Structure formats: C-alpha cells, structure tokens
Structure 1
Amino acid sequence: MIVIDVILRYTFSITSAASFELEWHLFAGIFLLGAAYTLKEDKHVRVDVFYDRFSDKTKAWVNLTGSVFLLLPFCAVAFWESLSFVQNSYQLGETSPQPGGLPARWIIKSTIPIGFFLLGLQGISSIIKSITTISYGRN
C-alpha cells in the first residue's frame, strides 16, 4: 500500500487522505491482531539478559508470573476501556476529520478490543503451558 501510494504521489502527483489513512489502519490492524500470534510463537520482544540461561522450569515460572501479574491485567484493562471507545465511535458515526478520508472509524477502532482479547486468550494458553512445564517438566 505504501509503495503504491509513493508511486502515485511522486510519479503521477495523485494523493488522497484515504490512502494515507488506510496505510496506518492496516499497520494498526496487523500490529494489534498479530500480537497474540507473536506471543504464541515466542517471537515477542524480550530482554534476554538472564532468561536465555534459565532452565525450562525457571523460564516457565518467569512466564507464569509475567502473564498472571502483568499480561492478563493489562489485557483486561485495555479490553474493557477500549469497548466504550469503539462504542462511542460507532454511535457517533465517526469518520475521518480529513476531507476524502476514510468513513466508519469504528471499524479500525474495533481491532483494539479484539486484539487485546486475543492476546489475553493467548496469555491464558501461556499460563497453562507454564503450569504444565512446572508440574510435569515438559511443554
């Protein structure tokens, strides 16, 4: 989308607010909806100063503690608070403030609670996996 926008802008002097907004909306959607998958695949950002050297059981304790005390509460708050954000946008029929911008802003805003709900579900899965590793020594 960005490449097409750049080619149209600099080659043909064609630009629109909608295409620019669509780039950001797609990025936001990929980021929010991809977070749970990234956690599932253990590809999220982690500062591995000590974690890499830990045993599987110690890693499971770290993951369990982080998921229970940080991830799930954060997901719950973000999910709950974003519901009214989306609802207000839908009820107002919110559109882009830019002339020629995208309509129905509630669609992109709805990826916020969906993304955090999916991330919370993956967090629960991670908790179960950690408990299994701690209890039985396997994933």
Structure 2
Amino acid sequence: MHLLTTISEKIDALNEYSGRLISWLAGIMVLVFCFDVAMRYIFNVSFASVFELEWHFFAAIFLIGAGYTLKHDKHVRVDVFYGEMSAKKQAYVNLGGVLLFLLPICVVIIKTSLLFVYNSWIIRENSPDPGGLPARYIIKAFIPIGFSLLLLQGISLALKSLATILNRVNIKEHE
C-alpha cells in the first residue's frame, strides 16, 4: 500500500506544479481581454491574433488545469446524495466514476488526439485567418498533455479511494 500512496503523492505533486504553473496565464489572459475590449470599443479596431490569443490562453488553462482541479475536488458534481455519504461510500462512488467514466474517456481522447496533433505538427499548422497566430500546432499539443494529466490525477483518485475502501486512509486526510 505504501507504493500506491507514493505513486498517488507523485501524481498529486505533478498536477499541483502544473496547475500553479499554468495559473499565471489567467492574469495575462485578463490583460489581453482588457486590451482587446479597449481596442474594440475605444478605438474601433480588432485584431484576429489577439482574439485567437485569448482562446489559446483559455484552452491552455482549461486543459492543463483539469488535473489540478480534480486534485482539489473542485469539479462540478451533483452533491445531492454524495455530500451526505460516508467517506467509504464516497470512495466507492469516486472509484466507480474514475474506472467507468474518467479513465476510459481520457484514454479515448488521448488516443484520438495524437494523430490530430501529429498532423498539425507535420504541416506546421497556422491560423487560417488573416492576421491570425502562427504555430497553431503548439496549442493543439495541449490536448493530449492536458488529458494525460487528468488521467494521472484520476489514477491518483482511484488509489486514494481504494485506500479508503480498504480502511487504510481517508481521502480527505490524505490530501
């Protein structure tokens, strides 16, 4: 069980680092939005590259931050029943959700996105819009990276849930 706890802790540390690293983009994204709005409404000027940059920042934050969000249990869920359950029952729900939904979906998205990203890198895909950003292939690479981090965090949650089910540790105490 110690090995599983160590693996879970390493995955948690990776997603904690990734989430904190990518979080600085949120502040920059706000500044880019403010610049875009000011240019549009004050000067009546718009730039395709600025608009695309906003979406690139959003995509990076969302994709890389998904594992971090799961680590901190901040994903949206219906807590009508879950919140009233014991820690052991919550662990069963978490383990089932991870094994039946999260891991398979992450695997499918990672697998199907690899060719998509590879083709984008091969042709050095750029924005089709005049004045758009170059190197669109870089942001597309965030798809398998982000879902890999989410997959790893799902594995960590499954390990913690298993430990709780086996009465080794409570998920909340482990974090």
TM-score range, shorter chain: over 0.9
Q: Using the TM superposition, give the Cα deviation of residue 87 of structure 1 relative to its aligned residue in structure 2, in angstroms.
A: 0.5
For residue 138 of structure 1, what is the aligned residue in structure 2?
170
The residue aligned with 2:135 is 104
State how far apart, in whole Å, the 2-side matches of 1:10 and 1:70 are.
44
Query: 1:57-96 counterparts in 2 under 5 A?
Result: 57-96=88-127
Q: Pairwise mapping of residues 15-34 of structure 1 onto structure 2 (< 5 A)?
A: 15-34=46-65
Alignment of 1:115-130 (within 5 A): 115-130=146-161
Distance 2:90 2:34 in 1: 41
Question: How much is the aligned-residue C-alpha RMSD, in angstroms?
Answer: 0.9
- Match for residue 5 of structure 1? 36
Mapped partners of 2:96, 2:119: distance in 1? 35
TM score, norm. by length of structure 2: 0.77
- In the other structure, the counterpart of 2:8 is none
Using structure 1 for the length normalisation, give the TM-score: 0.96
Please state whether the residue corresponding to 1:50 is helix, strand or coil: helix
Task: Kindly provide the CA deviation profile for residues 45-76 of structure 1, in whole angstroms up to 9, marking residues without a partner as x.
Answer: 00112101100000000000000111000001
> Structure 1 residue 48 and structure 2 residue 79: aligned?
yes
Structure 1, unmatched stretches of 5+, are none
Query: How far did residue 14 of structure 1 move?
Result: 2.9
Gaps of 5+ in 2: 1-31
**Corresponding residue pairs, total:** 139
- Counterpart residue identity of residue 138, structure 1: N
Q: What letter corresponds to residue 170 of structure 2 in structure 1? A: R
Q: CA deviation at 1:138?
A: 2.1
1:9, CA displacement in angstroms? 1.8
How far apart are the structure 2 equivalents of 1:138 and 1:101?
A: 49
